[in-house]
């Protein structure tokens, strides 16, 4: 079953990687009416939250450039950015590298208990690393849908 889960991660992340390659850099920072974040934020947020749902929930080191927390954690938004965010190419590299690193970390550890249960903002409580990891696929899909909607809104304007 574990290999099926890793295959699913490859499928989901493959869709994300294909999508980021299609977005022109000059469109990545536009925030259409009705949205609070942009395409760049959504891709970076996917990377940051996946990292959190695998390492942060275990109180382990987040293996991303430190600015990812400031730019992309939950509750952040581009309107608050003071520094220059990572390029789409940089975010693509992070997303791509993250797959293999997470798979290596998770092999044989899906049933590992979290130090304390984690409840997300939807009210779901997770007790194991496998549960948070599986939820990360849903999270990634939500943000991919948002990216699609933002991109369509930009093209219409």
For residue range 85-114, what is the model confidence (pLDDT) as tens digits? 999 999 999 999 999 999 999 999 999 999
User: What domains can you pick out in the chain, each with its CATH number?
Assistant: 2-156 (1.20.120.450)
pLDDT in tens, 120-140: 988 999 999 999 999 999 999
Residues in CB range of 138: below 8 A, 6 or more apart: none
Question: What 3-state class would DSSP assign to 16?
Answer: helix
Q: Which of 73, 147, 66, 63 is nearest to 98 (CA)?
A: 63
pLDDT score for 153 = 93
CA separation for the pair 70, 80 (Å, rounded) = 10
Residues in CB range of 40: below 8 A, 6 or more apart: 28, 29, 78, 85, 86, 88, 91
């Amino acid at each position: 079953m574990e290999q099926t889960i890793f295959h699913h991660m490859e499928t989901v992340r493959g869709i994300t990687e294909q999508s980021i390659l299609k977005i022109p850099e000059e469109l990545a920072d536009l925030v259409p009416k009705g949205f609070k974040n942009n395409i760049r934020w959504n891709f970076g947020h996917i990377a940051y939250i996946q990292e959190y749902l695998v390492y942060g929930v275990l109180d382990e080191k987040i293996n991303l450039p430190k600015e990812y927390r400031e730019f992309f954690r939950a509750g952040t938004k581009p309107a608050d950015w003071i520094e220059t965010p990572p390029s789409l190419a940089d975010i693509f590299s992070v997303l791509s590298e993250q797959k293999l690193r997470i798979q290596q970390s998770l092999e044989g550890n899906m049933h590992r208990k979290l130090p304390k249960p984690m409840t997300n903002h939807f009210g779901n409580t997770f007790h194991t690393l496998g549960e948070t990891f599986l939820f990360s696929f849903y999270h990634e899909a939500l943000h991919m849908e948002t990216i699609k909607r933002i991109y369509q809104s930009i093209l219409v304007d």
